[in-house]
Amino acid sequence: MEHVIILGGGIAGTTAAEDIRKGNASVEITIIEQEHHPLYSRVLLPHYVKGKIPREKVFMKTWEWYAAQRIEIMAGVRVDAIDIQNRFVTTSEGRELPFDVLILAGGGELNVIGGEPRGTSYLRGIDDADELIGLLKETGMRHADDRRGVVYGGGFIALEYMNIFHHFGVSCDVVMRGSGFWSSVLSAHSQSVLARKAVDGGIVLHTNEPEPTILGDREVTGVRLASGAEIPCSILGIGIGMHPDRSFYRDCDIEINHGIVANEYLETPHPSVYAIGDGAEFLDGNVGRRVVYGNWMNAQSQGRAVAKTILGDRQPFALVSSYATQLLGMHIVFIGDVDRVAAHEIKQGTATETASVEEFYRNGTIVGAILIGDISSRATITARIASNSKTV
Amino acid sequence: MKIRIIVDPDLCIGAASCVTIAPDTFIMNMENKAEVIDHGIMPDAPMYERVIDVTEDERQNIILGAQSCPTLAITIFDEDTGLQIYPTA
C-alpha cells in the first residue's frame, strides 16, 4: 500500500486518514475536499449561528494539523472522474492521482429548489452559517412585526431553522411537502405531538404543499403557495434532504442505490475501494439489511473501522447509531433503522399529548426506534438493538 | 492517575457518542445531556464534572469518547498536573 486517496474531508474521511496514519507512518494519504476549510463540525453550526460559540470553536482541525500528520489535503478541489479499473482519480484541476486504496467519504448532494435570491439559506456548511448570521442581523434591525422567516421542509435541517428563528424572535411559517414532520417516517401520533409543540411555540404549519414559488428577484420577499397565498419573509430556510450523486458514481462503474453499496466491512465490490459516512449504503448486521445513516457518530465510527480494516484488522462494522435533535426544547431521538417501508411491524409505545415512542421491528427483532418528548427508554432500546433481542 | 472530566451541558446535544464509546464514564440524563459517572457507578448521583481514577487504557478510551463528541462538549484535565488533555490546544 503506497497511496490512500480519500474523497471527502468530513468527519468520516478525516477520521480514516488520522487512524491510518497512526498505524502506518509511511503511506501517502491524500484527502480531496470540495470545501475550502479544514475539518469542522456541522453539528455545531446551529450553536454558532445562535452565538453560543465563536467561529473558531467550530473547527476541529487546523491546516497545521494536516501538515504535522503528513496528510495532504486538497481543499477546494472536486473529483471529476474515478477510473476504477486503472485505479486513478481525475481532479477538477486536471490532475490524475493513482491510488492503491480509495475511500469514498463524500456524503451526498443537497436537494435544492429553483432560484437562490439573497435571503435563501441552506445551512449546508459554515459559509452558509456565516451568511445566515448576516441575514439574521439584518432582520433583527427591522421592526419586531417585520422579522419574518419561512422554512421549507420538515426534517432535521428544517427543525434547526425553526429553532434558530425562534431563538432570534423571527416569525416562522413552515411549508412542508408531506402531512407533517418526517411524514414518511413518523406515525400520525408522532407527527401530531411535534405539530402541537410547534404551534404552541408560535410556528405556523402549511402541510401537503408542493414546492413554493420564491418571490423576489435579487432578495427574497416571500413565498407563494399553490393556493396563491403569499407569505412575506426576508429569510427562507430550506431543508429538504440530500441525495446521492448517482450519475457520477454510475459513470465511474460504482454501484449506487440509496448510497454507495458496501458490505458489512464497508468494502465495495472493487478491491480496496471502500465507502463510509453519509453516502455509504452498508450492510448493518444489527438490523440485517443495507442502510444509509446520516449522522456524525456513524460517520466517525466508520472512519475508524475502515482504517482498522485497511491496516489489517478486518472486522464487520457494528454500531447502533442515533440522531438526537430538539424542537423548541422537545427532545427527539432516532435510533437505528427507522424505515417504515422496510419494517415488518411498528409498535406505538408511549402515546400522550406531549410524547410518542415508536419501535420498529423486522422478523420479530427490534431494529430501530423513535423517541419524542420521552427519551427515558433510549439506553434500553439501544442495548436491545445491539443485542438483536427477540420480541417476547 | 486521576483525570477531571467536564461536560458543558449548553453544548451537549445528546448525540450520545460518548456513551457508546465509554459507557462506564458517561450516561445520558433525562435532559438528554451527558453526565459523568465513575466506572459505571454514580456516587453522589451523575454530574457534569467529576474526578475519577483511571488506568492508561481507560484514559485513552475516555479521550476517544470525548473526541467523538460532535459539539466538543467534553473537556478532560490531568488532575495531578492541571494540564488540559482534551481538546488539545
Residue bearing the bigger pLDDT, A389 or A289: A289
Q: Do B15 and A41 touch (CB under 8 A)?
A: no
Query: Which CATH architecture best describes the domain A3-108+244-310?
Result: 3-Layer(bba) Sandwich (3.50)
CATH topology of domain B2-86: Alpha-Beta Plaits (3.30.70)
Q: Is the pLDDT of residue B89 over 70?
A: no
Which residue out of A293, A296, A376 would a mutagenesis test of the B interface target, given it has the greatest number of B Cβ atoms within 10 Å?
A: A296
Q: Do B70 and A296 touch (CB under 8 A)?
A: yes
Q: What is the largest CA-CA distance in chain A?
A: 63
Give the pTM. 0.94
Which residue out of B11, B24, B71, B86 would a mutagenesis test of the A interface target, given it has the greatest number of A Cβ atoms within 10 Å?
A: B71
Q: How much is the CA Rg of chain B, to the nearest whole Å?
A: 12
From the list A212, A216, A207, the residue with the least C-alpha distance to A234 is: A216
Which pLDDT band, with edges at 50, 70 and 90, does B65 fall under?
A: very high
Closest CA of chain B from A325, distance in Å: 7
Domain ranges of chain A: 3-108+244-310, 110-238, 323-386
Determine contact: B83 vs chain A, CB below 8 A: no
Domain ranges of chain B: 2-86
| A:B CB pairs within 8 Å | 65
Residue of chain B whose alpha carbon sits nearest to that of A43: B70
Q: Do B11 and A325 touch (CB under 8 A)?
A: no
A323-386 has the same fold as A3-108+244-310: no
Residue range A13-49, pLDDT digits in tens:
999 999 999 999 999 999 999 999 999 999 999 999 9
H/E stretch holding A238: strand A235-238
Cβ-Cβ contacts under 8 Å, A382 against chain B: 16, 20
Measure Cα distances from A207 to A194, A211, A224, A340 in Å.
13, 11, 14, 20
Query: For the sheet containing A120-121, what is the strand order?
Result: A120-121, A235-238, A148-152, A171-175, A204-206
CA–CA dist A300, A260 (Å, integer) = 17
CA–CA dist A182, A198 (Å, integer) = 14
Q: How confident is the model over A322-329, as a mean pLDDT?
A: 95
Q: Does domain A110-238 correspond to CATH entry 3.50.50.60?
A: yes
Lowest mean pLDDT among A308-312, A378-382, B11-15, B40-44: B40-44
The DSSP annotation for A187-208 comes to: -HHHHHHHHHHHHHTTPEEE-S
Helix (H, G, I), strand (E, B) or coil at A130: helix
Q: Do B10 and A52 touch (CB under 8 A)?
A: yes
From the list A173, A24, A160, A35, the residue with the least C-alpha distance to A101 is: A24
Closest CA of chain A from B8, distance in Å: 12
Q: Do B20 and A44 touch (CB under 8 A)?
A: no
Which residue out of A45, A65, A375, A376 would a mutagenesis test of the B interface target, given it has the greatest number of B Cβ atoms within 10 Å?
A: A375
CA–CA dist A363, A256 (Å, integer) = 26
Q: Do B28 and A47 touch (CB under 8 A)?
A: no
- Nearest by CB to A297, from B20, B28, B72: name it: B20
Residue range A198-253, pLDDT digits in tens:
999 999 999 999 999 999 999 999 999 999 999 999 999 999 998 998 999 999 99
Determine contact: A27 vs chain B, CB below 8 A: no
Residues 6+ apart with CB under 8 A from A290: A257, A261, A262, A281, A282, A283, A284
Residue range A245-279, pLDDT digits in tens:
899 999 999 999 999 999 999 999 999 999 999 99
Q: Is the pLDDT of residue A389 over 50?
A: no
CA–CA dist A235, A107 (Å, integer) = 26
Q: How confident is the model over B56-60, as a mean pLDDT?
A: 96
CA–CA dist A71, A39 (Å, integer) = 13
CA–CA dist A8, A31 (Å, integer) = 6
Q: Do A375 and B32 touch (CB under 8 A)?
A: yes
Determine contact: B28 vs chain A, CB below 8 A: yes
Residue range B31-45, pLDDT digits in tens:
999 999 999 988 777
Composition of chain B by helix, strand, coil, percent to 5: 20, 30, 50
Cβ-Cβ contacts under 8 Å, A52 against chain B: 10-11
Q: Does domain A323-386 correspond to CATH entry 3.30.390.30?
A: yes
Alpha helices in chain A (DSSP H): 11-23, 45-49, 63-69, 126-140, 156-167, 188-200, 246-251, 296-310, 378-386
